[in-house]
Amino acid sequence: MAFKVGQDQDEYAPMAEINVTPFVDVALVLLVIFMVTAPMLVREQLNVNLPKTKTGEKSASKALEIVIDKEGKVTISGQPISMESLEDRVKKELEVDSNVQAVISADTDSKHGDVVTVIDHIKRAGLTRFAIQIDRQ
Which domain, by its residues, includes 81?
A: 48-136
The answer to whether position 109 is within a domain reads yes
The answer to whether position 129 is within a domain reads yes
Provide the domain count of the chain.
1
Q: What is the CATH number of the domain that holds 131?
A: 3.30.420.270
pLDDT of residue 43: 53
pLDDT of residue 31: 94
Q: What digits encode the pLDDT tens for the residues 19-40?
A: 889 999 999 999 999 888 877 6
**Residue-wise DSSP of the chain:** ----TT--S-TTPPP-----HHHHHHHHHHHHHHHHHHHHHHHHHHT----EES------SSEEEEEE-TT--EEETTEEE-HHHHHHHHHHHHHH-TT-EEEEEE-TTS-HHHHHHHHHHHHHTT---EEE--EE-
The answer to whether position 58 is within a domain reads yes
The answer to whether position 93 is within a domain reads yes
pLDDT of residue 18: 80
Q: For each successive 10 residues of the chain (137 residues), what is the average pLDDT?
A: 56 76 93 84 59 60 83 88 89 88 88 90 89 76
The answer to whether position 9 is within a domain reads no
The answer to whether position 118 is within a domain reads yes
Phi/psi for 50 (5° steps) reads -80, 150
The answer to whether position 131 is within a domain reads yes
The answer to whether position 105 is within a domain reads yes
Cα–Cα dist 80/75, whole Å: 4
